[in-house]
Amino acid sequence: MIKQDTFFPVSFTCHASRWKDGEQFVAQHSLGLVVAGDMELDFGAYKKTISAGDVFFCRRNQLLKFKKLNGSESDFKTITLFFDENTLTNFAKEFKYNAKGDVTHFKMPKNDSLIKIFMKSLLDYEDFLETDISLAQLKQREALLLLLKNDVMWQNVLFDFSQPVKIALKDFMEENFQFNVSLERFAYLTGRSLTSFKRDFKIVFNESPARWILKKRLGAARELLTKERKTSIEIYQDLGFQDLSHFSYAFKKHYGIAPSMVTKQT
């Protein structure tokens, strides 16, 4: 029996047909394989479409939106390995690895055929990997060795244990305003306390974070409604609104017209 608070390094996930999209904070590095379906990953600064057979990697400490692209007629399934900091720290000490450079613009190497073969092989162990943590941890270590064999630059990503450093607010917020996360999370990701985040934000944007974010989302919504003729249902979640009624209320209060009327008038 696995304790509920035990970190489990592998996940076989099947998202049912009724499921369409979601959003999350990526707290741990993760390596995955798409088993079935198509999905769009939105990292704020860029988007990536992944399909059955593709391998993907998500770095820790980032925001991520994901959307199933193949409609409601089929399921989306992935197998994912997660790498917690404790495992990576012990692995780095054992094999004497350490981060040696900036990896801000690191992208997963294209020569990933060996990694694909390995990830596909995990499907044969699905019944065991979901219940046997010892076996799952062995596969986790095997994956790390293969990644480092694939490209030595992986060590700069995997073994960088530093917390987010203080970064420029303007570029970060312009790229990530659509994520529905707390100000505390935005502050953490920009390397600030909540107090300093609010103070710096006021200096950069001459507005409070909450007001600026709302206006930015509403402006983006109006652009989509008028130029791309999107509907409220199609855009409200992508722009970080909690629900459709909240979006409609905020839009009408700001522009004096319901979002549905904007589409009809264009």
Q: In which band, very low, low, confident or very high, does the pLDDT at 17 lie, cut at 50, 70 and 90?
A: very low
pLDDT at 266: 57
Close Cβ partners of 61 (under 8 Å, ≥ 6 residues apart): 26, 27, 163, 164, 189
pLDDT at 16: 44
| Beta carbons of 158 and 88 less than 8 angstroms apart | yes
Instruction: Check pLDDT > 90 for residue 221.
Output: yes
Write out pLDDT tens, residues 157-204: 999 988 888 899 999 999 999 999 999 999 999 999 999 999 999 999
- Mean pLDDT taken over the chain: 86
Burial bucket for residue 1 (CB in 10 Å: 0-12, 13-18, 19+): exposed
pLDDT at 228: 86
| Beta carbons of 64 and 40 less than 8 angstroms apart | no
Write out pLDDT tens, residues 106-139: 777 777 889 999 999 999 988 888 788 888 899 9
Other C-beta atoms closer than 10 Å to the C-beta of 142 total 14
Mean pLDDT of 30-45: 89
For the chain, which domains are there? 10-158 (2.60.120.10), 169-265 (1.10.10.60)
Instruction: Check pLDDT > 60 for residue 72.
Output: no
Write out pLDDT tens, residues 138-152: 999 999 999 998 888
CA distance 245 to 82: 36
Phi, psi of 64, rounded to the nearest 5 degrees: -150, 130
